Each structure stands twice: as structure tokens, then as C-alpha cells.
Amino acid sequence: MDAGLFTANNVWMMVCTALVFFMHTGFAFLEIGLTREKNTINILFKNVFIICVGLLLYFTGGFNLMYPGDFNGFLGFGGFGLHIGADGLTPEYAKGGYTYWTDFLFQGMFAATAATIVSGAVAERIKLSAFMIFVVFYVGLVYPIAGSWQWGGGFLSTLGGDDAGFYDFAGSTLVHSVGGWAALIAVILLGPRIGKLDENGKAQAIPGHNIPMAAAGVLILWLGWFGFNGGSVLSADPATTSLVLVTTSLAAAAGGVSAFFTSTLMYKNFDLTMFLNGILGGLVGITAGADLMTPFEAIIIGLIAGVIIVLGISLIDRLKLDDPVGAITVHLICGIWGTLAVGILGDKAGINQFLYQLTGVATVGVFCCLSAFIIIFTLKKTIGIRVSKEEEIEGLDIHEHGMDAYPDFRMNQH
């Protein structure tokens, strides 16, 4: 391979790595904006903790657990730390798409995302210590094991033989639903926030304190998705990369418009938060097959994802589950839709592919639910997972951190 092409490929992958890193800013802004000001420091702390500890865990063993080399297809481990090898910095590595170092860092950005999804769903009432322990086990073990089954050459990638298998281009299942399943289990075990259910047990809205920040967060996430999906081409290949950015953007736009129209028809108002979550739903939906879809098919995926957002958030409320940011609907339900869509639309559409996709969704779902339940239930029975009533009412910032995100504002209130 030409040295210039190898360099261009690697530079593109490093740019995508930076864009995925920037998504953590988007997640933090979105979570802050859709929750109350008294828990802002707590949410920021969790997001900073996730990226720092996630990278260290991925260095220590996660990368080699996810990409173990030749293994039995279910569980393998390539050793602790990083092992660059003789070809790690040459075009012989990864077909000239990037270097070993770039490979580690790009994949490490994905690892932290799975736990960030859980952070939003459990916001405003989980003990920080319990959440941090959960992150260590979930990011350090559960995420890379599930990822190895497909991206590491495991059994899901060869379900139908050498020429077929489960397909997840950039992680509708392997990133988003991995986080979504854990979020669902955590929300069930935690219970709703104080005030979420009225005296009749009906769910009611707890407004976020900074919707402009939530909107900024979604737009940052959309930008970051250019790296999330664009980098998953694993090179700077012009044709595939440009197609992926087009399908990603069209699905996002269609998801937002669809959620906006659906929520307006159902609730007779122009709900910005539904609009924003619709964009995210479209992004999650296209992630599994962004390289397989035509622009028109991407729009269809986004339109359906937008409807799913509105109906899914309504379903979560009817089930009396409390998800302050809509993470379960966005990342789990739309992640499932996007994964199944690979068998319905695009270059791989067909009944066999649909069955492979369904198998992948079910397998990862069972594994993640069992793992998350074991981790969180154990924490619940030992150190506890929920803050006290007093702490929840007064805010986690003061009790967990001894700080206030808006001290001048709070002083003026008094």
C-alpha cells in the first residue's frame, strides 16, 4: 500500500476517534439538561469517571478480551496490556486502515459509551459508589465479551457460515443495546424518583432544568456520530465513508421530524425533547447498517425510529419505569429496530439475515440482562444502590460532592 494512503487512512481514523471522544461532552450536556440543577455535579462526575476509568480498563484487559485473536468464539483473552507486534505501525496491520495504537484508542472510545448510556437512565437517585463499581465490571468485562462475539471474530459473526452471520456495522446492538439492557435492569431495580408517580401511581413529567444545554448535547452527539459511524468503515475509503455520513445524517433528520410529528399528533404540542430524542433514535437506528442502506432506506429507518421514540417513552411511563433522559427507548428499543432493519432493508435483506439479526439481539440481550442483574442486585444487597430520601430531595451535588453547580443562582434564591 502507498505510504500516503496509509497515512490518510490513519489520520481519518484519528479524527473519528476525536469525534467519538467529543460525544461524551454531548452525553453530559444532554443528561444535565434533562435533569434537575441539584444533580448537575453528580452527572458530570459520572461522565468524567466513565471515560477515564473506561480507557484504563480497556488498556488493562478489555481490548484483548474483545479482540483476543484466535479463540473458541465465545470467550478468549489475549493478555494484559497492549502488545503492538511487528506489524502494528505498518500497512500490514488492519489492511492499512490504521495503526495498532489508533485501533486501541478508537475502540476504547466505544467502550466507555456503553456505560454512559446507563448513567442517564439512573440519574438523580443512584449512589455514586455503586455506579462506579458497576462501571468497572460492565465496561471491563461485559462489553468486551459481547463485542468479541461479533467484532472479535466470535460465533455471531459466523452464524450462517463464512459468507454470512450477524451484522452490526457500528454498534446498534453491540454498543447501544449493551448499554440499553443494563439501563433497563438498573431502572427496574432502582425504582422511580421521588415525585415521578402521582398519588394514583401515574407517571408525570419531572422537567429538566436546562433544555438549551440538552439541545446542544444532541447536536454535539450528531456531530460525533460522523466519527462513530464514519470511523467504523475502518479506513478513509471515499465511497463507503461518504455514503455512511449521508445515511447517518438522513436517518437522524428523519428520526427527528418523525418524532416531532408523532408527538404533536398525540399530545397537541411541539415537544422539543421528543424532537431531540427522535434525532438520537434515528442515529441509533441507522448505526447497524449505515454502510448497507441507500439514502431512501436510511430515511425509512429514521422515520420508523422517530415513531418508536414517542411510543417507547410512553410505554416506559405506563410501565412505571423512570428513565429521566429516555435512554432505554433511544438506545435499547431503537438499537433493536436498527439491528433488525439490516435483515429487512439494504444489501443484506432477507429472511436468513433477519434470523441472524434476531439471534444476535436475543443472545446479547440475555447476556447483558443477566450480567447487569448480577452486578446491580449484588450491589443492592451489599452496599445499596439508592441514595436516602433526604439526599434525593436535597440533591446529590451537595450530599455526594459537597459542591453546587450554580452557587450564585442558589444564593440568589435565598
Distance CA 56, CA 52 (A): 7
User: Quick one: how far is CA 171 from the chain centroid?
Assistant: 8
| Cα angle 191, 192, 196; round to 5 | 165
What phi and psi values does residue 19 have, to the nearest 5 degrees? -65, -40
Cell (9 digits) for 304: 420508523
- Are 148 and 65 spatial neighbours (Cβ–Cβ below 8 Å)? yes
261: containing domain: 3-413
Residue 203 pairs in a beta bridge with 197
Distance CA 342, CA 290 (A): 9
Please report the pLDDT score of residue 261 as a whole number.
Answer: 96
Distance CA 333, CA 173 (A): 10
Given a cut of 70, the residues of the chain with pLDDT beneath it are 162-163, 409-414
Please report the pLDDT score of residue 398 as a whole number.
Answer: 93
What phi and psi values does residue 34 have, to the nearest 5 degrees? -95, 5
Distance CA 19, CA 276 (A): 19
Please report the pLDDT score of residue 414 as a whole number.
Answer: 45
CATH of the domain at 151: 1.10.3430.10
Distance CA 398, CA 314 (A): 32
For the stretch 298-334, pLDDT in tens is 999 999 999 999 999 999 999 999 999 999 999 999 9
SS3 state of residue 140: helix
> Structural domain tally of the chain?
1
Please give the helix or strand (H or E) that residue 308 lies within, else none. Answer: helix 295-318
The pTM is what? 0.95
